[in-house]
Amino acid sequence: MQTGTQQVEVGVQTTTRAGQSLGEIIQAAQQVGDMVTQIATATSQQSSTTDQIKANVAQIVKISSESASGAQQSAKACEDLSNLALDLQALVARFNVGENAPPPSSLARPNGGHRSGYGPPEDLHAVPQTGGRPSGHGARDA
């Protein structure tokens, strides 16, 4: 009988340890399930962040393209302005600014031969001799 009692006690102890082991297994399985849920959440967040980064990079590419286009337009405008300045310098260099210099006969008018589209009058010094200043240039018309 004593052997049977010992065997029952060993069986109870084994059953208790098996129950404890099953409890630990269940707890570990729950922890693994929680980790899987956390990994799924993190993956979803990373996917969303990746989409935001993709959109931001596309915006950067668009802005860079617009900036490059603007820089090209600015360079062209600077070149045009430089050409206009050269034309103006050439026009001003033709003026005779002494006391006896006659006033110009007309203003600059369109001329396809110049870069700016405007050129000097045919002859700045060819003023009709009417005995005074030409009309229309600040002089009082008599």
pLDDT of 109-125, one tens digit each? 444 444 444 555 454 44
β partners of residue 119: 109
> To the nearest 10°, the Cα dihedral for 105, 111, 113, 117?
120
Across the range 83-97, mean pLDDT stands at 88
Residues sharing a CB contact under 8 Å with residue 120, sequence separation 6 or more, in sequence order: 90, 91, 94, 108, 111
Q: Which residues contact 135 (CB under 8 A, 6 or more apart)?
A: 141
User: Is pLDDT at 142 greater than 90 in this prediction?
Assistant: no
Of the ranges 1-10, 77-86, 88-97, which is most confident?
A: 77-86
Can you give the pLDDT at residue 84? 96
- The β-bridge partners of 31 are none
For residue 74, pLDDT beyond 60: yes
The residue extents of the domains of the chain are: 11-96
